[in-house]
Structure 1
């Protein structure tokens, strides 16, 4: 088995360098080429390319990736419909582009410069005069302002929060647009630069919020949608006249001539398609499968390469989220019982041979992750005023339940039963009864084509049965899954949320109280915790790196001890199987295989015979 694993040949970076106050003072005078959340941008004004891009990469070739599911929209910026998730990143550009080799740093893309007020109460962008849409028309301030207002009013909920904090938007000169903020929130200067820019004229007379497959977007990106078959495939073709191909930020990016996304109804069918050559690149999330099923002839011949790509970003959270809006899980003791009943050690041994480590908290695998002992120092200072709102373990120490590795998991099941009893539940004739005297059950919503999640739930259901609980397991297609999760129509469901080394305003969307009842919110658990809200505010108000780290660790404690999610595997590296002609740089970003890495900085190179 041929393995490729690039290593980090540099010092591990901290989460932030310097204080925000110093950065604001430095950045508040003149237009700059970039901006960082803390300190100065890592790259100088004359940088040649992103540090993890190969500026000499050849152009050409194609990549075919597979997805389980379907799609019924080409508009990834609204709540309606199910678009291919990649379109949001491959088919659109923003004023600023992100360097994933630093915690949170942005550099000019459609904008040639950024200027901020001394306290970041406003930010001003100057457009590049050469910026063009794919139809050759120039990108104007009018397009920018229309895009921001449209996304902020009828766009996906992820855009609404930032727009709500904009007090005014105005053109301040030729190619210049300024945003003034209504709140003291230094991250807004960065977030506002990351919105996709759309062509206003294309949407004249059309309802943006109701669009689907009827409009192929005209954008500024290196790729345009050249073909699609509803629900089956989308093809993106590199624009030979792409306006930004010579920008330092884009050197070594957008190297492939064609990116094709194929959709399959089942993960096993997708795997067979890859083995037969229909797919040229495939991510594998199961460590056991990676070790035991990727020894087919194409791998043995060297036609397929197995690459392992490490990263330094937080684990995020992946697992089964419990909807606290529902009676089934509004009591933390019931959620704690579910955590004890979920026999991770046995499930991990069964499914991955014990090879896959578990997520231990939302920010595990990074310096932002909580310590599992008692809270100390600044972390404790932040949490103690909210002691009445916090659940057991937040201050005194908490770790996920550990099973003994056996199928019976007797010790943890005893604890689970005790928690249910504490919450007023009883067992009558082998059936768990609620405090109201009716049988206790709940729905588990799963997307079709997710065999690992389904297998884990099958094993979980066996444990629940021993507790007198019979869950109702429902599998739906991707469109129904999105619709039901957008409206919180589930008791428990499969959930994943990636996190960065620079958490900020997005945390409000993920688990803030205001997002709990907003349709399409990412707060699937329905968390409404004053402590969580306060820790997010502490992150946003941090003026030093120490305060920032402490606030994030405190947030991690509040989230983890909230018992909202049953965590499963932690992915400390990406496993990508791909044809040998597909290459990627040896120098990796600290975020590893994250957004804007695959296939953005990959290229096609024929192997000499």
Structure 2
């Protein structure tokens, strides 16, 4: 298979400029909506550009996950849930195209209408939209879902609900939301909330549900079998209401989707080699190059696919919890970044096969530029000059070692930074502050962390040379989730996947509320008025240039905050899978991401 990568994204920068160039001016019902400009696809589009409308139906795909689960409700804070359920087992009013930065097309809703300044949004439901039990999706279900999720649902839903001034039924199949703030993205966000069946929860506490109550939804797949902590199986609903709409044509082709759970990555890989799993996503470049030479590969029963993408790298690495006094000083964080011998670790763990994350939006047109901030970016940042850390205005790059084990130059720099922050090495080789407190902290990992644990073993040894006592603490998945949700850790490994359309979710990632409010993705506990100001600029940008400048400025603030020790990312996804599993020649801009496998894959024995 020779994929035609990014048919509509030959030039990511030019494409984004076109999409962001206009503003929807007229209030009238439409089949879709874009953050800026108009949707790329016409009202009568046959299918999404990266879906194969002629794909056959049938077959089975079995994928693996590490860890466990004790809930099937991904819309509440309680419990651990297979992450795929949020996307495969539920539907929203609008559906996202992953070939456009932020464009939605009608799904449960046949049309969307907004005010001239997007101060309100109105959706009209499709008359044929039904839940899996055959009952119609109603405006009552929509209003109940939004209010319930916004009040007792997962924290990811609550911020948006607080910006809704009113929610009302405006017709037999129409619902309108009016906002109490200026925020152009809200009209789109309101189209992406999962819609649940109100009657199912009339006498059941929604926010306490686990595996005892499988939520009813309108999605193409329904949960048909599971064993808590072991596997979940979804079956394609043959009576799914939306098979003939353009957004769904060529998607959800595979009859059975099964997710098996394993204690660690090694056990999962062995299950794939044994044929228990039929698809495996490999994230380690060294393993991809050396470990995929087993009989099924040699016989052609398993094939290797490499799938490019144009999305931001996001940020992945080891996070300092700045709520802890020991990491409150940026000089301490910078010192520990210098002590992390990336070049040596990457070679040892990853065969030096992938690039390092350079910033939060690197690998995309949204990433900050090298050198000093200029133009509109500088204009956005300068009012906060007193708050910004070194490098935000003048330029910043991660420290680089010579690749040797000693890392002497960077360790000398680390010692200087620690000294500036009030930490000195005593005669006994222990690093202490002026109060005589030893520099010691814990690195919290989940059992079965694999290469993360190996990386930290190397790092802990390097820190000893600075007189720092770092201890790796491994806990089971349930305890790990509970502690991370409550920010009960010194350092953890975490990954933020960032999109080509950053918006309101950035408040949940970097906003001040997350310093104390449990369950946010502000894992580092940052509190930066400058970052929140840049998010506001993004949300209310009147032009393409201002939007890009605001994101570039935010990227500088985050990166120079030294909140994370970045590791590697891959601009290519590497998947090994049964030869019977196929994907389209046209790859979306996001590549192998949400909405790709199993969504547009199909099973065919030929």
Give the shorter-chain TM-score range. Answer: over 0.9
After superposition, where does 1:447-466 map in structure 2 within 5 Å? 447-466=446-465
Would you say the 8 A contact 1:35–1:114 is kept in 2?
yes
After superposition, where does 1:37-52 map in structure 2 within 5 Å? 37-52=35-50
Match of 1:438 in 2: 437
Q: Indicate which of 274, 277, 299 corresponds to 1:276.
A: 274
Distance in 2, Cα, partners of 1:323 & 1:435: 22
Distance in 2, Cα, partners of 1:324 & 1:544: 35
Q: Indicate which of 94, 98, 108 corresponds to 1:100.
A: 98
Q: State the shift of 1:22 in Å.
A: 4.4
Would you say the 8 A contact 2:440–2:469 is kept in 1?
yes
Q: State the shift of 1:16 in Å.
A: 3.5
Q: Indicate which of 313, 326, 334 corresponds to 2:332.
A: 334
Distance in 2, Cα, partners of 1:21 & 1:557: 24
- Cα deviation digits, residues 355-393 of structure 1 (max 9, x gap): 111000000001110112011111111101100110000
Q: State the shift of 1:83 in Å.
A: 0.5
- Cα deviation digits, residues 179-214 of structure 1 (max 9, x gap): 000000000000010000000000111111111111
After superposition, where does 1:265-414 map in structure 2 within 5 Å? 265-414=263-412
Distance in 1, Cα, partners of 2:19 & 2:575: 38
Bigger Cα displacement from structure 2, 13-22 vs 470-479:
13-22
Bigger Cα displacement from structure 2, 473-482 vs 396-405:
473-482
Would you say the 8 A contact 2:12–2:310 is kept in 1?
no
Local SS of the residue matching 2:95: strand
Would you say the 8 A contact 2:113–2:122 is kept in 1?
yes
Local SS of the residue matching 2:149: helix
Distance in 2, Cα, partners of 1:122 & 1:390: 36
| Residue 491 (structure 2) pairs with residue 492 (structure 1) | yes
Q: State the shift of 1:439 in Å.
A: 1.1
- Cα deviation digits, residues 248-292 of structure 1 (max 9, x gap): 100011000000000000110100000000000010000000000
Q: Indicate which of 22, 46, 64 corresponds to 1:66.
A: 64
Would you say the 8 A contact 1:185–1:541 is kept in 2?
yes
Q: 1:352 to 1:6 in 2, by over 3 A?
A: farther
Q: State the shift of 1:516 in Å.
A: 2.3
Distance in 1, Cα, partners of 2:32 & 2:206: 31
Match of 1:585 in 2: 584
Would you say the 8 A contact 2:141–2:197 is kept in 1?
yes
Stretches of 4+ moved more than 6 A in 1?
none
Bigger Cα displacement from structure 2, 339-348 vs 8-17:
8-17
Q: 1:145 to 1:32 in 2, by over 3 A?
A: same
Would you say the 8 A contact 1:56–1:252 is kept in 2?
yes
Distance in 2, Cα, partners of 1:64 & 1:22: 43
After superposition, where does 1:192-207 map in structure 2 within 5 Å? 192-207=190-205
Local SS of the residue matching 2:586: coil
Local SS of the residue matching 1:88: helix
Local SS of the residue matching 1:324: coil
Q: 1:17 to 1:126 in 2, by over 3 A?
A: farther
| Residue 239 (structure 2) pairs with residue 241 (structure 1) | yes
| Residue 417 (structure 2) pairs with residue 419 (structure 1) | yes
Match of 1:25 in 2: 25
Distance in 2, Cα, partners of 1:589 & 1:435: 55
Local SS of the residue matching 1:442: strand
- Cα deviation digits, residues 342-367 of structure 1 (max 9, x gap): 11000001112211110000000011
Q: 1:462 to 1:6 in 2, by over 3 A?
A: farther
Q: Output the TM-score relative to the length of structure 2.
A: 0.98
Q: Output the TM-score relative to the length of structure 1.
A: 0.97
Q: Indicate which of 67, 75, 78 corresponds to 2:73.
A: 75
- Cα deviation digits, residues 106-136 of structure 1 (max 9, x gap): 0000000000000100000000010000000
Match of 1:129 in 2: 127
Distance in 1, Cα, partners of 2:112 & 2:147: 20
Distance in 1, Cα, partners of 2:387 & 2:313: 26
Match of 1:150 in 2: 148
| Residue 510 (structure 2) pairs with residue 511 (structure 1) | yes
After superposition, where does 1:158-197 map in structure 2 within 5 Å? 158-197=156-195
Match of 2:136 in 1: 138
Aligned residues: 603
Distance in 2, Cα, partners of 1:267 & 1:147: 36
Distance in 2, Cα, partners of 1:399 & 1:123: 43
Q: Where do 5+ consecutive residues of structure 2 fail to align? A: none
Q: State the shift of 1:19 in Å.
A: 8.3
After superposition, where does 1:108-123 map in structure 2 within 5 Å? 108-123=106-121
Match of 2:539 in 1: 540
Q: Where do 5+ consecutive residues of structure 1 fail to align? A: none
